């Protein structure tokens, strides 16, 4: 467990990636009580400089011997590194908040979205898993609805930006867009198909049942975070030519009847949610609106008249912030509160 201190030695593992960079920015913006920030990445990033509170912090090589004296480590360096290095860090007394999928479904590791299940932090053993970006923004909105009317079933289609794959994917979208507008041939490298001016219904690997790993993550993670295996979830995840910000169309079936106005009232009071829903004025969530914002935007709230107790909503959020970096920092903040 984290020991109570005035300030903490904090590490970011995978500091030069899109999420790692965002973690440093969020720590600074939220005035997290950092005594010293240490940044780790692979050999090719050694010596790079990242600014933090007007100071220059040098990126170090990640090794097994770096965790002594570190209180909290935010990991965003991929599943293999997390599986290897997180247990090593915890043996040194460091608490790890891991952004990869490595520990999410481990029954001994809490999977936490602070607006939904902070209580699960009480039983952590040194590692806390940060959920999938598309799951995080969905459960923040589902939680108040589930508490009020008990959700039976969720059907979700995601529209996920290329930043969810990383910087190389963002570069590929930029380069393909430029090349196509200049009548040049393109060759997909990051994705199996052209991403510019296209939609690809394929995120992560396909499994034997025809679903992708991303879709299965949304199903299993939602049940674990919400603490209710009875919620039925089915997902279709799609990569779209957007640089930053994930959107989702969600159909929700509840046990008790909720009107659209009742849902608006619930969500207007929900932590981490911003109701942005005046379609007659062209006001509804857009990924461009959410860039750099902490909230999950919710709109297009309407009743599904094809079932007895159904609601349709459209949500958007910054996948690098609430979908990754911000959620990890919020977990660390809760750990300090509980210390």
Residues 273 and 331 in one domain: no
Residues making up the chain, counted from first to last: 339
Sign of the dihedral through C-alpha 216, 219, 220, 222: positive
Q: Report the alpha-carbon distance of residue 89 to residue 64 in Å, rounded.
A: 8
Residue 289: inside a domain: yes
Q: Are 99 and 130 in contact (CB under 8 A)?
A: yes
pLDDT for 19 equals 94
- 272 domain-assigned: yes
Indicate if 204 and 106 belong to the same structural domain: no
232 with 284, same domain: the answer is yes
CA distance 57 to 89: 21
Residues 29, 120 within the same domain = yes
- 121 with 149, same domain: the answer is no
The answer to the question of residue 2 being in a domain is no
Give the domain range for residue 69: 8-131+324-338
Catalytic residue among 94, 124, 146, 246: 246
Shared domain for 328 and 256, answered yes or no, is no
Same domain, 155 and 93: no
The answer to the question of residue 146 being in a domain is: yes
Same domain, 161 and 296: yes
pLDDT value of residue 190: 98
Q: What pLDDT was estimated at residue 162? A: 98
Residue 133 falls in the annotated catalytic set: yes
Q: What average pLDDT does the segment 152-171 reach?
A: 96
Determine contact, residues 221/111, Cβ cutoff 8 Å.
yes
Tell me, yes or no, whether 256 and 309 share the same domain.
Answer: yes
119 pLDDT higher than 80: yes
Mean pLDDT of the chain: 97
pLDDT at 224 over 90: yes
pLDDT value at 103 more than 80 = yes
Inform me whether the pLDDT recorded for 236 exceeds 90.
yes
- Judge whether 31 lies within some domain: yes
* Torsion angle (degrees, nearest 10) of CA 236, 102, 76, 327: 60
Burial level of 152, CB count in 10 A (0-12/13-18/19+)? middle
Q: Is residue 193 among the annotated active site residues?
A: no
How much is the pLDDT for 124?
Answer: 97
Mean pLDDT value across residues 267-276: 98
Domain count, the chain: 2
Average pLDDT score over residue span 292-314? 98
Same domain, 95 and 147: no
How much is the average pLDDT of 334-338? Answer: 96
Q: Are residues 196 and 100 in the same domain?
A: no
* 179-204: pLDDT as tens digits: 999 999 999 999 999 999 999 999 99
Residues linked to residue 53 through DSSP beta bridges, in sequence order = none
Domain containing residue 171: CATH number: 3.30.360.10
Annotated active-site residue in 94, 124, 133, 146: 133
Q: How far apart are the first and last CA of the chain?
A: 7
Evaluate if residue 1 carries a pLDDT over 90: no
- CB atoms inside a 10 Å sphere around CB 123: 9
CATH assignment at residue 88: 3.40.50.720
Please indicate, yes or no, whether residues 101 and 157 belong to a single structural domain of this protein.
Answer: no
Mean predicted confidence (pLDDT) in 86-97? 97
pTM: 0.95
In a domain, 1, yes or no: no
For 9-38, write each residue's pLDDT tens digit: 999 999 999 999 999 999 999 999 999 999
Query: What is the average per-residue pLDDT within 171-184?
Result: 98
Residue 129 and residue 112 in contact, taking contact as beta carbons nearer than 8 Å: yes
């Amino acid at each position: 467990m984290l020991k109570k201190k005035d300030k903490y030695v904090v590490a970011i593992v995978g500091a030069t990636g899109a999420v790692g960079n965002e973690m440093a920015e969020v720590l600074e913006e939220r005035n997290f009580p950092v005594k010293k920030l240490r940044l780790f990445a692979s050999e090719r990033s050694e010596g790079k400089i990242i600014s933090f509170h007007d100071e220059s912090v040098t990126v170090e090589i990640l090794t097994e011997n770096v965790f002594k004296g570190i209180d909290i480590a935010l990991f965003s360096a991929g599943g293999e590194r997390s599986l290897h290095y997180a247990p090593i860090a915890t043996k040194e007394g460091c608490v790890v908040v891991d952004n990869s999928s490595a520990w999410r479904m481990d029954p001994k590791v809490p999977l936490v979205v602070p607006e939904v299940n902070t209580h699960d932090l009480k039983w952590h053993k040194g590692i806390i898993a940060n959920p999938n970006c598309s799951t995080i923004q969905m459960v923040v909105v589902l939680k108040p609805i589930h508490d009020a009317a008990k959700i039976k079933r969720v059907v979700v289609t995601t529209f996920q930006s290329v930043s969810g794959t990383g910087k190389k994917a963002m570069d590929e979208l930029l380069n393909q867009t430029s090349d196509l507008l200049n009548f040049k041939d393109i060759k997909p490298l990051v994705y199996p198909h052209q991403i510019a001016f296209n939609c690809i219904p394929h995120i992560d690997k396909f499994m034997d049942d025809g679903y992708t790993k991303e879709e299965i993550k949304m199903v299993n993670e939602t049940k674990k975070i919400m603490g209710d295996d009875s919620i039925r979830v089915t997902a279709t995840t799609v990569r779209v030519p957007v640089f930053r910000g994930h959107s989702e169309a969600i159909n929700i079936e509840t046990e008790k009847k909720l009107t659209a106005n009742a849902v608006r009232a619930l969500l207007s009071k929900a932590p981490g949610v911003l109701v942005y829903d005046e379609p007659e004025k062209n006001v509804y969530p857009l990924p461009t609106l959410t860039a750099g914002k902490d909230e999950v935007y919710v709109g297009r709230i309407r009743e599904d008249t094809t079932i007895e107790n159904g609601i349709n909503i459209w949500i958007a959020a910054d996948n690098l912030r609430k979908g990754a970096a911000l959620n990890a920092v919020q977990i660390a903040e809760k750990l300090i509160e509980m210390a």
